[in-house]
Structure 1
């Protein structure tokens, strides 16, 4: 867990995690401002305070002085110069000291404007998580300097004041770092907004549907300095739009379904100077379309579902070695995997994964090591599984999700990072080895159920206790239940020492201490045992679930048949942590999850 935006067990539910110039942006609800736009990145202690993201600061130094300012951060960071009109006049040391290369002379300024104000942008890159923050500094060659305090990850802007939410969505970044997204300020409806990650730079870009009615911008796709999306201006319906990040450069690109009905473009994909998408022209139903930037023309690629006004509903458009891989539903095979080179003759069914007219519904497309991974349903394999599309043969192969101790059912939300594939899955532990230990005679099954009204620390000790017992049941290794650090007995002792409650200690002494070589935990008979009680039919949080599941948890894969592993049971026991909204910055992958405490 990296940040707890709302203290305690209440969740801020981070969503739509986006990497924008090595900063993490997302939407969250802090319980005060509603769901708004947030950022997470290293904070810089600069001349005018802290900056999470980019801020502008001014500092004054005496002439003939090389030292400017020593930057600090709340993280272990690498300091660097990241532009500015006078960047070549400066250097920054590993310890954060910013210096002039040559001491400035007031009477002979060498800055860009020759006005004794030198501009330089400082970047701090977190060595652990890879995120970065910038500060644009204007150094005035006169005298002075000051230093103030630090801040942490912050709300970018409360777009809709008060507790109501503006619900930012479809966050997309341009090449210059600007972010475009949809939001509702309570006056204009859901419209197009722009931000550079700071409060002053966050504003309504264009009221596409004038007045209080929403244009509902969605389906954003960035290509270089432009964003393609669909929107409704109230005149031609939901159609294809383009924006370069300015109000003047935000215009209707193509009206495919003439009139007010709208073609509702979706699943936008750019390949070789052409924009591909799904749309409904009002005659053929929803089919695969293209738009050519060379002659500003649009056309349907192929009418896959040929019956009038019944479309194949293409989705999940993905560029794979210059070919369009997508999902569509024809009249014969159901919703299956298709391929297209952008022409009608080159568009065909790629694989009938769930044969016999039964749809496999491929989804969660993700590229890893030049292979395309996705999830699909197959009655031959029992249920939804991970598949991969081989690079050369264009053949699909199932990648069964299991390790030595667990099986992953219903994998979802595939996300590639480096040479790894992250995903969530319903996790089923393997049954214990009947010959492995005395467990069947001693372990009562189930978990310790936390009582209402106890402290967050107490809940944490109980969850640790349950998680370690769960690990023991999978591995049979008594290390997981020992009394020393790393074992369930240790968690029991923490609850005893710090919360003055013997619930876990009594449970451990009765059921798990006999399986170890450790002595029983010692405590007075008058110490209460009210923080937790054993339940053989409930999860640690009290939710009735099948005790033979660990819930939906975090898995990782190298993409090969034997390369899948349960990475962590984040919410111990049968409760689910539901990992989702994966985003990678540097070598680190961020996601939202519920650990049952925070």
Structure 2
């Protein structure tokens, strides 16, 4: 699933090509979710069957919340008010000053704004309505510095910029409009050193560079234009080491390398060119250990290994070559426990396991082979209490569970098998209060909830099942505020709100129900699917009585009905990944007896049945990436014996079987992006020897083979964005010499070749949004000079060219309608608007300046209706509305809704 998010609209495109989006704007905001289809319509005031092309979508209108609607491109009408309740505040982001927690929330009146809480209902209040009215300023990147909260917020006048607050409305102010006007500088990556905030921001003149601020406009300034001009050095991994700022950044001569800064332009310099030349060492996983920076980086001789730096060139060197030679151990999750550095790293013998280091080669040692053999336990989510390290790790028999270590093999043990057997509880969000460990974990009976542990099996217990039953409540970061745990939780009655806990069930309570009510018929999570078979639309909807289940509609209110209550009662079966295979609907759904498994439906209750319980019992097989190949369904599924591998189904239990165990044993190959080219299935899959590479299958085990090992070794080329153009597969892949570029394949190793090195050298042009328009491939790429632009290719190097340079365009949401490519693009004068292209420079033009001025209308596309583009855009008054376009300015108009 690909997610693109902007200030007011979120677009979600599922693997099936269905597009869902939410849009917030205008008086009360709006939210819409949609999918293209043919054969539908509405007939005015009296419900009539679908008789022409239509599109079904979800929309927040008529004061009924988010409900299914239908449009034929001329008008839109409500299919049915499936649920009449309100929604939750959807709280997010936390920061602490003294005894007050700052966070973001939406009360249903003011949009998402900055709030604060002292832990009482009366003391939980909005700080300021920054973007006045129902619009959301969407505060992000909240950090506390010496009693002041810094954050980013969005307004119509300045876009997303740097703000600060002392906790009062009058003291909540814009620090500086860095990118003057309504185009956002988008600050992020905040780090504080001696009261100064360092961050990354973007301007038209300097691109994305390093900035600093002391809280005033005058002291908010560019620290250094590392990649001189409008190109971006894109600093990352900002880390404070005893008052010196370390980070990684990219320039044209050394690539992405290690930098440091003392807060002055002159004192902001490259530390060392670790991977000599323009190649990237790509330093990451920064951690401060006793005043020395430790990190992972790569070069040509040792691969990605464990490094250290004291800020000098001579003092920057690799500590240990854990995976000897040019292969990479790829150290990650570096974590300091009282002067000992713990991390995970891999080699060919043990796989990814737990290591520790005192910063010397002799003191860098393997702790324990938790998952014996070469598969590795993949330890992560490190946290410590005193000298004990807690983390999540997996074994073949117990799955991902909570472990602890004192740095010795014998002292590295599983704390508790929370989710009994080989299934995972996946401990996350680990923190502690007064020597008690708090975390979230998943079980079949309670879902993901709040747990605590004193480090013993008996003392590792569920704190409270907030969302009663198997549904999960706790998914966000846990924060310790003066000995009380704060977090976000989703309950049956209040929705997602701010909670607190003293570690007891009785003391785990909601702080305040900011946005009263919780139910809605179409969830905003993006898990819903719409698909059309014949004249019937199938989709998922949520009601108070049946929960989230499978529905169908013929385009009338009376014909919009529940197909089957798969998980009987108000609990959810949550059907997803709906796909039509020769007139049969396939999807995955959850039950308490089988978990999430494969189902099919003929549109009747009796004909809606489980195809097969692939992962026997209550465990789920985690199906995804559904694809139709010659009338057979192919997909990814998980079992305890084979891991996540390629499966197929003809709709019968016996005909639902594993195609091939690509990564032998319980390890997973994770087949993804399944794409049909001339009745051959192409996909990306990973093995322990080749990494993630391009594979193909004819549906048999023998015919499921590696096409080509593009990047030799275990790192793999990670093929993405697979697209069929006239029988040739195009995709993006990454190599050490060319970076991520455009490739094509005819299914043979010799016929799998680089099309063009668009950004010469090892830099990434990162081709994405590959789209077939009448036999020509269109895509978005960055050649390092003009930024992201629309390109096209006929499969040859000379025929792979940029279509047109549009200043700062960043094209998004490419879609093909009737031989024309449509997309959204941004310019300094018009903002983000609707564009089209016929493949020529002269024919690549803005369709209409819907919202005049630099704000832009932010169009996001739903699909095609009667050879016209259906989309949402923000009008001159700031309201998000439904639009359609025939590709002309006059033919780009609003679709009226009641």
Corresponding residue for residue 167 of structure 2: 42
The runs of 5 or more residues in structure 2 that have no matched partner are: 1-90, 92-101, 113-135, 448-467, 473-488, 498-505, 511-515, 522-541, 550-569, 576-588, 596-898
Corresponding residue for residue 411 of structure 2: 395
Q: How does 1:94-133 map to 2 (within 5 A)?
A: none
Equivalent residue in structure 2 for 1:265, among 283, 305, 330: 283
Corresponding residue for residue 321 of structure 1: 338
> What is the deviation of 1:347?
1.6
Distance verdict in 2 for CA 1:390–1:247, change over 3 Å: same
Corresponding residue for residue 493 of structure 2: 464
Q: Report if aligned partners of 1:6, 1:12 keep a CA contact under 8 Å in 2.
A: no
Corresponding residue for residue 379 of structure 1: 396
1:306 aligns with 2:431: no
1:255 aligns with 2:273: yes
- Distance in 1, matches of 2:440 and 2:291, equals 35
- Distance in 1, matches of 2:221 and 2:375, equals 47
Equivalent residue in structure 2 for 1:286, among 295, 298, 304: 304
Q: Report if aligned partners of 2:352, 2:377 keep a CA contact under 8 Å in 1.
A: yes
Q: Report if aligned partners of 2:401, 2:427 keep a CA contact under 8 Å in 1.
A: yes
Q: How does 1:181-580 map to 2 (within 5 A)?
A: 181-292=199-310, 296-308=314-326, 310-382=327-399, 384-390=400-406, 395-400=411-416, 409-416=425-432, 419-426=435-442, 428-430=444-446, 464=493, 533-537=544-548, 544=575, 546=590
> What is the deviation of 1:13?
6.4
Distance verdict in 2 for CA 1:185–1:423, change over 3 Å: farther
> What is the deviation of 1:463?
5.0
- Distance in 1, matches of 2:469 and 2:348, equals 54
- Distance in 2, matches of 1:363 and 1:444, equals 28
- Distance in 1, matches of 2:138 and 2:433, equals 22
Distance verdict in 2 for CA 1:210–1:379, change over 3 Å: same
> What is the deviation of 1:222?
0.4
Greater relative contact order (Cα 8 A, min sep 6): structure 1 or 2? 1
Q: Report if aligned partners of 1:537, 1:546 keep a CA contact under 8 Å in 2.
A: no
The one-character-per-residue Cα deviations of 1:486-542 (angstroms, maximum 9, x if unpaired) are: 9xxxxxxx98xxxxx9x9xxxxxxxxxxxxxxxxxxxxxxxxxxx964224458999
> What is the deviation of 1:268?
2.1
Equivalent residue in structure 2 for 1:170, among 165, 189, 213: 189
- Distance in 2, matches of 1:338 and 1:189, equals 39
Distance verdict in 2 for CA 1:261–1:467, change over 3 Å: closer
- Distance in 2, matches of 1:367 and 1:283, equals 34
Name the SS of the counterpart of 1:180 in structure 2.
strand
Distance verdict in 2 for CA 1:200–1:332, change over 3 Å: same
- Distance in 1, matches of 2:417 and 2:149, equals 29
Distance verdict in 2 for CA 1:413–1:14, change over 3 Å: farther
The one-character-per-residue Cα deviations of 1:186-224 (angstroms, maximum 9, x if unpaired) are: 331210010123444322111111101111111122022
Corresponding residue for residue 115 of structure 1: none
Q: Report if aligned partners of 2:247, 2:258 keep a CA contact under 8 Å in 1.
A: yes
RMSD across aligned positions (CA): 4.6
Q: How does 1:119-158 map to 2 (within 5 A)?
A: 150-151=169-170, 153-158=172-177
Name the SS of the counterpart of 2:319 in structure 1.
strand
Q: Report if aligned partners of 1:37, 1:168 keep a CA contact under 8 Å in 2.
A: yes
Distance verdict in 2 for CA 1:429–1:33, change over 3 Å: farther
More helix by share: 1
Q: Report if aligned partners of 1:263, 1:282 keep a CA contact under 8 Å in 2.
A: no
- Distance in 1, matches of 2:367 and 2:183, equals 46
The one-character-per-residue Cα deviations of 1:165-191 (angstroms, maximum 9, x if unpaired) are: 4332321111x2101111212331210
Name the SS of the counterpart of 2:325 in structure 1.
coil
Distance verdict in 2 for CA 1:465–1:192, change over 3 Å: closer
Name the SS of the counterpart of 1:245 in structure 2.
coil
Range that drifts further, 290-299 or 365-374: 290-299
The one-character-per-residue Cα deviations of 1:561-593 (angstroms, maximum 9, x if unpaired) are: xxxxxxxxxxxxxxxxxxxxxxxxxxxxxxxxx
Q: Max radius of gyration: which structure? A: 1
Name the SS of the counterpart of 2:322 in structure 1.
coil
Q: Report if aligned partners of 1:327, 1:337 keep a CA contact under 8 Å in 2.
A: yes
Distance verdict in 2 for CA 1:162–1:374, change over 3 Å: farther
More strand by share: 2
> What is the deviation of 1:361?
1.8
- Distance in 2, matches of 1:13 and 1:170, equals 16
Distance verdict in 2 for CA 1:198–1:540, change over 3 Å: farther
Distance verdict in 2 for CA 1:304–1:28, change over 3 Å: farther
Q: Report if aligned partners of 1:462, 1:532 keep a CA contact under 8 Å in 2.
A: no
> What is the deviation of 1:423?
3.8
Structure 1 length normalisation: TM-score? 0.51
Q: Report if aligned partners of 2:286, 2:294 keep a CA contact under 8 Å in 1.
A: yes
Corresponding residue for residue 145 of structure 2: 20
Q: Report if aligned partners of 1:20, 1:173 keep a CA contact under 8 Å in 2.
A: yes
